[in-house]
Amino acid sequence: MSGVREVNYRVKPMSLMPMNPGCSESEPLKAEKTGDCLANPAQPAEPETVARVLDRFQPITLGEIEPNGYFSRFDNKFIMHQGKLVPLLQSLAREFRVLENKGLRLFPYDSLYLDTDDFLFFHQHHSRRSNRIKVRWRTYRDSGRVYFEVKRKCHNNRTEKLRMEEPAILETLEPRHLALFQSHAPAGTRLSPKISIRYDRMTLFAKQESIKITLDQNLSFDNTRDTHSLHGLVIGEIKCAQPRVPTCLLEILRGLAIRSVPFSKYAFGIGSMEPVKNNGIKPTSLLLKKILHEQQSA
C-alpha cells in the first residue's frame, strides 16, 4: 500500500545457548540460578527487584530485530499483580532476551485512540465482532517517534497491524491514513480523539522461537474530563506466530496463579469512563479488584 510503512518484529537467528528441549510442548522453563547467597549464611540475601532480575537478561537491541514478524500474530493476554513480576521474570530469564535501547529496558508509551462520536469501534469490540479494528496514534516517549496505527482482529482471531510513521500527531487525518481503515468502516466515517492511555512497557523476545512477550505497568487513562489508573497491575501479552501458546509458558503462568484473560486497554478505558454500554467490561473490572485484593491479603 503506497505510503504505508509496515514495520514488524522478528528476532534474527543468532547463536545462543540452546533452549530447554521440552519448552515447545511440556517442560516448564527453568528459572536462572541467582547468586551464591547460600555460600555464607551470615550474609542475608538482598531482596530481588525487577531491576535486579532484568539485569540478568541478555539484551536484544533494535538493530538485532528485523522488520518481519509480529505485526501478524496471535495474541494471548494475562493480568497479574506487580508483586508477581519478579518471579515471572525469574522464570523467563534463561530463555528470553529483553529489549534494550540507549541503556533503557523499560519504555514509556502514549496511545491516543480515535473513534466515531457514537464509539463505533468500542461497540464492535464490546459485541465481539470479527474483523473489528482500533485506530490510534502511538508515541514512543523515549525517542519521540510517532506512528499512526490500525489494528484489526480477523475472523480467525489473528491480529494484524498496519502503521506509518509521521513527524507528529496530526489534527486531521489525510487520505493515506483513511486508506488503512476505510474498508472496515462505513463510508464517510469521521474520527476524533477519545482517550489517551499511558503505560511503561518491557518487551521480551524468545531466543529460539518466534515469541514476544510485552509487560505493561503503571497504566493511566485520560479522556480530557477525567483520569483513571491501574497502578499495581501488570497487563501482559504473549504474541506468537502460531495460535497455540507453548505449554511451558502456560505452566509458568499457572504455577504463579496468573490469569489468562481477554483484555483491551481501549475498551476498558472507554467502558469505564464514557456513558456507553459496558456490561462486557464488568467481569474484567471485578477480576482486577480481585487480583488487587488477593495480593493485599497474601
Report pLDDT digits (tens) over 71-108.
889 999 999 999 999 999 999 999 999 999 999 999 99
280 inside domain: yes
d(CA 155, CA 273): 28
Distance CA 54, CA 106 (A): 10
d(CA 66, CA 85): 28
Residue 218: partners with Cβ closer than 8 Å, 6 or more residues away: 198, 199, 200, 229, 231
Residue at 23 is within a domain? no
| Nearest C-alpha neighbor of 273 from the set 224, 234, 219 | 224
- In sequence order, what are the beta bridge partners of 115? 192
pLDDT of residue 183: 83
Q: Quick one: average pLDDT of 248-274?
A: 95
Secondary structure string (H, E, C) spanning 20-65: CCCCCCCCCCCCCCCCCHHHCCCCCCCCCCHHHHHCCCEEECHHHE
Contact 137, 146 (CB under 8 A): yes
The answer to the question of residue 247 being in a domain is: yes
Find how far residue 5's CA is from the centre of its chain.
Answer: 21
- The answer to whether residue 13 sits within a structural domain is no
What local confidence, expressed as pLDDT, does residue 22 receive? Answer: 41
Residue numbers of the domain that contains 220: 48-297
Does residue 140 sit within a domain?
yes
The DSSP call for residue 223 is -
Question: Does a structural domain hold residue 200?
Answer: yes
Query: What is the CATH number for 174?
Result: 2.40.320.10
Let me know if residue 279 belongs to a domain: yes
Any idea of the CA torsion for 284, 286, 287, 289, to the nearest 10 degrees?
A: 130
Tell me what pLDDT residue 188 has.
Answer: 85
- Asked whether residue 33 is domain-assigned, the answer is no
Cα distance between residue 142 and residue 30, in whole Å: 33
Q: Which amino acid is at 268?
A: F
pLDDT tens sequence across 222-242: 999 999 999 999 999 999 988
**Are 29 and 248 a contacting pair, CB within 8 Å?**
yes
- How many domains is the chain partitioned into structurally? 1
Phi then psi dihedrals of residue 142, to 5 deg: -70, -35
